[in-house]
A and B are shown apart, each in its own frame.
Chain A
Amino acid sequence: MELLEALSAKFNYWIYVIIMMIGLYAMISKNNLVKKLIGMSIFQTAIILFYVSIGVKEGDTIPILYHDQVHPSHGDSHHGADTGHGEDHHPSHEEIVANLHIEPDDFANPLPHVLMLTAIVVGVATLGVGLALTQKIYRDFGSIEENEILESIKSAK
């Protein structure tokens, strides 16, 4: 029963591990170079998924401030008073910061998001380099199967 609880409470982590192992298996055991690169991408996205899921909190929302969190409403006679004496109702930066009431638990942690944004772009660059190498290998050896390439390297020697 305890095992079942441990499996079900963290089911998303288990699925990330499964996806990661699928990618690792493809990188190791597939013969086709394009399949190997797809496996590498799956491996990378599984790790990125794990890191993004760390920043999630229960009942959170997207890490963007709403307008009434930064500018709390003063009352109904706001606009009438504004036209009366103009420069009065322009709160300075310090006043805005002092009036902020932000609960950090309401927002998802944006730090893993920013880090993983970089990792996604790097992953696509890696995939592009790998596919360019695959095209070059196909031009030289006439095949993108690893065992056939190794055969032709051995027979050329």
Chain B
Amino acid sequence: MDTQRREGGLWQMIWAFDLITLIFLVITAIISLQTKDLLSAAMIFGVYSFLMCLLWAGMAAVDVAFTESAVGAGVSAVFLIATVLRTTRRSSD
């Protein structure tokens, strides 16, 4: 059973992977909230959801990861784009 545990080196790699993904997560969150174009805000929010999905796959929560990739990056991005197309694309802030 010990062979199925993650080895020490791999665990260190996942630690570094988590840190890099979290930094990109903060960057995408800030960009998606600061951009004035709502369509690009929706697309960058999709990138944010995808990064979140990667993070959950690294945390051994595979079920949460593919639910997020289907529902978060897929459906909610579609909802946001549909709203942007039916209303207006510009945002004041």
- A residues sitting closer than 8 Å to B (CB atoms) are 11-12, 15, 18-19, 22-23, 26, 30-32, 34-35, 37-39, 41-42, 45, 48-49, 52-53, 55-56, 58-63, 66, 69, 101, 103, 106-108, 112-114, 116-117, 120-121, 124, 127-128, 131, 134-135, 138, 143-145
Contacts and interface: CB of A to CB of B under 8 A. Distances in A.
Contacts of B80: 34, 37-38, 127, 131
B30 A22 contact: yes
Contacts of A11: 19, 22
Interface in B78-93: 79-80, 82-84, 86-88, 91-93
Contact of A131 (B63, B64, B71, B79): B79
The B contact surface, by secondary structure, is: helix
Contacts of B38: 32, 34-35
Given A32-B38, A34-B84, A45 B52 contact: yes
A22 B60 CA distance: 26
Nearest to A39: B33
B45 A120 contact: no
Contacts of A48: 64
Interface of B: 1, 4-6, 8, 11, 18-19, 22-23, 25-26, 29-30, 32-33, 38, 41-42, 45, 48-49, 52, 55-56, 59-64, 67-68, 71-72, 75-76, 79-80, 82-84, 86-88, 91-93
B2 to A, nearest CB: 9
B58 to A, nearest CB: 9
Most buried by A among B25, B38, B48, B80: B25
B49 to A, nearest CB: 7
